[in-house]
Structure 1
């Protein structure tokens, strides 16, 4: 079976407080987008294997979250050997949740392939063991994420028909680096309430708190945000704790999409 693990963006990201366990409580809207990897899993007759292609992925293959997801279920359900191949397209350190999506889709494919009969809730609980935002990709629909980003509340938000441009400036920012510079604070405004308003009001209201420390350190991020506004974006922001900057456009896609050749750019309709 082959599926296409997709990325997500953060519509607003409020860092509320540091937790006793070292993580941070946050509030953010996770929204799926179409930039995708490709993941194939097939039963194997011999030893299980995991191979990679596309963008280079650091570390040993069997340290990959996809393999860890397989091992997690294998321990409890005595899964047979598999052949797994991941073609990596979503950049890493980009704030798009690509690795988390790969892990969650691994769980979903294994559940389907081997008829495990696991509910979405059970799959989410397994996904939470792999990473804070992995569980989002089980249902893969807009949510308001709270606590570590692994507890979800329903949100009535539909951006269907909106155009999005995502720009990754070939700059990987690790989660540890991003969090090292933040100062948690109580939000002045409720994100859920802000997202109920027309997106034309989001420009100065729906913000990503990581921008405050990362934009001075990496000026290219602020420059990209401004460029997207100059192209006609209604709202532009950094996504997650990584370096991708996205712009939302109402109506037709912008005609003047031009970025350096070394950047990765994806655009499509939500």
Structure 2
């Protein structure tokens, strides 16, 4: 690989440790309460700054037009918002399943914003990058900020949290779950009573989308039932299709992963309070603080 590539920019996944819908705005957006926790597992991105203004995605994802890819949209949004005339080629090494509720696309977009802010020497800072990220998706700001967080509003009102950095077994049953269909479902509970951070820390909070997803996707229901029996509990992340169980440690999670029936897939990850993206950014700035 050319030394001109800036490699190894992490785009970690996330878990929603609970997810409530507390209302709906006049514009149709749902009001949420949730806790985001970054994971030690995620995608990785490489960037090659270009002297032209081209934004080029190497090896586009199957079935996703480059113009619609959140990585390309993030780079172009950053260019448009700053008047930057530079360009970039981007390689995405996918690890997280698409549409799994792990935030892979949003995390990739956030990593693009953070990396290009450094590589293009824009120096916008976290607050401006997070604001720009909100235009790309409600989950993007939490990945830009890079901390475990309590979230409200449409997911953009964030309060950093210091959570237990537990180990999780995350399972992907391999079924496509439509976020739009779940949000528009007439049976969705949209008036969850608001809870506090203290309520959550004392054990309150569910994923309000879980009964809907399990009722509409039998394979997801079967996979969650297996994990409930094997681990004693399971919870959907986001609107699915992935779900997770907290485990005593990585060895226990690995042993249970070895028992996972085919064709379901999974991985072991640690929940984090600080995203590895922040560490990668800090290393890049320490090596080359003036560019």
CA distance in 1, matches of 2:11, 2:172: 18
Displacement of 1:215 after TM fit? 1.1
Q: Normalising to structure 2: TM-score of the pair?
A: 0.82
CA-CA distance at 1:188 after TM superposition: 4.6
- Paired residues for 1:2-81 under 5 Å: 2=7, 3-46=9-52, 47-52=54-59, 56-75=61-80, 76-81=82-87
TM-score by length of 1: 0.88
**2:14 touches 2:37 (CA, 8 Å); kept in 1?**
yes
1:70 & 1:208 partners in 2: Cα distance? 32
Question: Which residue matches 1:144?
Answer: 150
SS in 1 for 2:58: strand
Specify the SS of the correspondent of 2:215: helix
Quote the Cα distance in structure 1 between the aligned partners of 2:157 and 2:69.
23
**Range that drifts further, 188-197 or 240-249:** 188-197
Deviation at 1:191, TM superposition (A): 5.1
Q: Residues 91-135 of structure 1, C-alpha deviation per residue, up to 9 Å, x if partnerless?
A: 111111100000010000001112211111111000001001111
Give the equivalent residue in structure 1 for 2:181.
Answer: 177
The count of corresponding residues between Structure 1 and Structure 2 is 259
Per-residue CA shift, 1:200-233, capped at 9, x if unaligned? xx4xx43100012121111333333332233335
Let me know the Cα RMSD of the aligned residues: 2.0
Taking a change above 3 Å as real, the CA distance of residues 9 and 267 of structure 1, as seen in their structure-2 partners, is: same
Q: Is the 8 A contact 1:163 1:268 kept in 2?
A: yes
Pair 138,180 (structure 1): closer, same or farther in 2 beyond 3 Å: same
Shift of 1:48: 3.7
Q: What is the CA–CA distance in structure 2 between the aligned matches of 1:183 and 1:48, rounded to whole Å? A: 40
SS of residue paired to 1:5: strand
Gapped runs of 5+ residues in structure 1?
Answer: none
Q: Which runs of 5+ in 2 are unaligned?
A: 1-5, 272-291
Structure 2 residue corresponding to 1:236, chosen from 220, 234, 237:
234
Shift of the alpha carbon at 1:149? Answer: 0.9
1:18 is displaced (CA, Å) by 1.8
